[in-house]
Amino acid sequence: MGGDRLENKTSVSVASWSSLSARMDNRFATAFVIACVLSLISTIYMAASIGTDFWYEYRSPVQENSSDLNKSVWGDFASDEADEKTYNDALFRYNGTVGLWRRCITVPQNTWYSQPERTESFDMVTHCTGFTLNEQFMEKFVDPGNHNSGIDLLRTYLWRCQFLLPFVSLGLMCFGALIGLCACICRSLYPTIATGILHLLAGLCTLGSVSCYIAGIELLHQKLELPKNVSGEFGWSFCLACVSAPLQFMASALFIWAAHTNRKEYTLMKAYRVA
């Protein structure tokens, strides 16, 4: 009789632990899936942010399409030797947009190629020029455009960080996704701790890039004040990067929680079975 009761209790305990284990596995799997979805969305947002040209946008009145001065500014803007002041003046005057890789201005279509007749309305075209690697790593000067004013180290390194950190963030997330794929193949949540840590570092890089960009824009506008009737605002590419950072942090928290808690529960179950 005593042996039968002990066996029944053991069976009930094993059944209850099996039920609890199944519920925990479902909980961990749900957290893992949600983290993967957040990671995918943040990766798409970050990639779109890096590849588009709307980190910052300027709004200015439409310029006269027959002005020789405007044509000169447009030519200087497209030049590979354009300095910081030259292309920023064009951005201010011609509804410019700036990305991490390119800068764009909106100009009357005809005057880009030839002298048009004066008309009350004319078609507009967006012209973009890429930042070369030399321009990305070029020193910024205390007085933009004046090479004799000395190097502004703060703005120089802010610019370099805002350019490099998004790529570091994207690379960390891709590496984390590879580790997560290996975890799925191995049917184990343990490697997802590394995935969570990589997503945490990626989020910090994204946050650092956004912060550097804001600081760089504010310092630039202190050096080069916006002309009258010209306004500036952060664009949707910048907003995508801002949204990507918290998504990365949330994915990181879920990955680390799922892996850590699953390992802890597995250790308790193993100890119970041994006992």
**Measured distance CA(173)–CA(202) in Å, rounded:** 6
Half-sphere exposure of 6 (CA within 13 A, CB side): 3
Q: Are 172 and 206 in contact (CB under 8 A)?
A: no
Neighbours of 264 (CB within 10 A): 10
181 and 142 in contact (C-beta within 8 Å)? no
pLDDT at 227: 85
Give the span between the Cα atoms of 66 and 247, in whole angstroms: 48
- The pLDDT assigned to 251 comes to 93
Query: What was the pLDDT predicted at 113?
Result: 45
CA-based nearest residue to 172, from 272, 71, 6, 42: 42
| Residue 107 DSSP one-character state | E
Residue 167, pLDDT score: 94
- pLDDT string in tens for the chain (275-residue length): 444 444 444 444 444 444 444 454 567 778 888 998 999 999 999 999 999 999 999 998 876 554 555 566 666 776 766 788 888 888 888 889 999 989 998 877 655 444 444 444 456 778 888 888 888 888 888 888 788 888 899 999 999 999 999 999 999 999 988 887 877 777 666 678 889 999 999 999 999 999 999 999 999 999 888 888 888 999 999 999 999 999 999 999 998 888 777 655 444 444 444 44
Query: Measured between alpha carbons, how far is 9 from 3 in angstroms, rounded to an integer?
Result: 10
CATH numbers and ranges of domains, the chain: 3-274 (1.20.140.150)
pLDDT at 263: 56
What per-residue confidence (pLDDT) applies to 54?
93
pLDDT of residue 186: 72
Of residues 95, 104, 87, the one with CA closest to residue 62: 95
Which pLDDT does position 20 carry in this prediction?
A: 42
CA distances to 30, 40, 187 from 33, rounded to whole Å, are 5, 11, 13
* Tokens standing for residue 208: 């650092």
CA–CA separation, 195 and 53 (whole Å) = 30
Tokens matching residue 154: 């703060």
Q: Alpha helix (H) ranges present in 121-191?
A: 133-136, 153-186
User: What pTM, to 2 d.p., does this model score?
Assistant: 0.79
Dist. CA 94–CA 34, nearest whole Å:
44
According to the model, what pLDDT value does residue 105 have? 87
- The distance from CA 82 to its chain's CA centroid, rounded to whole angstroms, is 27
